[in-house]
Every structure is written in C-alpha cells, then in structure tokens.
C-alpha cells in the first residue's frame, strides 16, 4: 500500500493541532485503513502520543450508507489520554460535517 495525508484540526480558541495519516489498506469503495498520528508545525510526525490505527467501513443500509469507524490504540493509557484531549468530541464534529462535504462535492 502507500500514500499519506496531512491535516489539521482547529480548536474553539483557533489553535491548530496537526496530524498525519499513512494509508495501510484501501479497498474501494467500502474499506479504508490508516495509521494516524500527531505532527509538528512542519508536518513531521511527533511520536509523543503514539499512533492509532483506524478502520473505516461503508455499507449500504436501505437508501442510506452506514459508516463504521474503529480506532485501535497502543494501550489503554493512550486511549485515556486521547479521550482527555477531546478525541471523542472531535470525531463527532468531523463526522457531523460529512453530509455537507458530500453535498458540496455533488453540486461542484
């Protein structure tokens, strides 16, 4: 496999948390896996908080699509630290934006 992506998340106070993805499996159109970690201002990986592995699956459900995202952590301590940093809220907000992103893409 291969490929990577860089991203940032903007917090309520305007601060940017940077990160990276390294794609480990892509089975279009319904399966994606990647490693996810934090990055510095230049986009270089920062290993202080470890790496998580994400699996995204899409499946038809009547006239809709169900997306299931599974995150795997190095340890329970890492998972707890990520929860304290607001990972759950961040994921919720990101997922809530998907409908508008898809609508914009369809209208482009």
pLDDT of 1: 58
**Residues of the chain with confidence (pLDDT) below 70:** 1
Sort 34 into a burial class: Cβ within 10 Å, 0-12 / 13-18 / 19+.
buried
DSSP of 34-101, one letter per residue?
A: EEEEEE-TTS-EE-TT--EEEEEEEEEETTEEEEEEEEE-S-HHHHHHHHHTTHHHHHHHHHHTHHHH
The residue behind tokens 């630290």 is 81
Q: At what angle do helices 98-107 and 87-96 cross, to 10 degrees?
A: 30
Q: Are 37 and 18 in contact (CB under 8 A)?
A: no
Which domains does the chain possess?
A: 4-107 (3.30.530.20)
């Amino acid at each position: 496999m291969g490929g990577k992506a860089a991203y940032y998340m903007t917090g309520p106070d305007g601060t940017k948390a940077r990160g990276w993805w390294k794609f480990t499996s892509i089975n279009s159109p319904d399966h994606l896996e990647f490693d996810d970690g934090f990055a510095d201002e230049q986009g270089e990986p920062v290993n202080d908080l470890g790496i998580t592995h994400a699996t995204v699956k899409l499946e038809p459900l009547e006239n809709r699509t169900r997306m299931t995202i599974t995150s795997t952590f190095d340890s329970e301590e890492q998972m707890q630290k990520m929860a304290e940093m607001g990972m759950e809220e961040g994921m919720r907000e990101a997922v809530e934006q998907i409908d508008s992103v898809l609508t914009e893409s369809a209208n482009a």
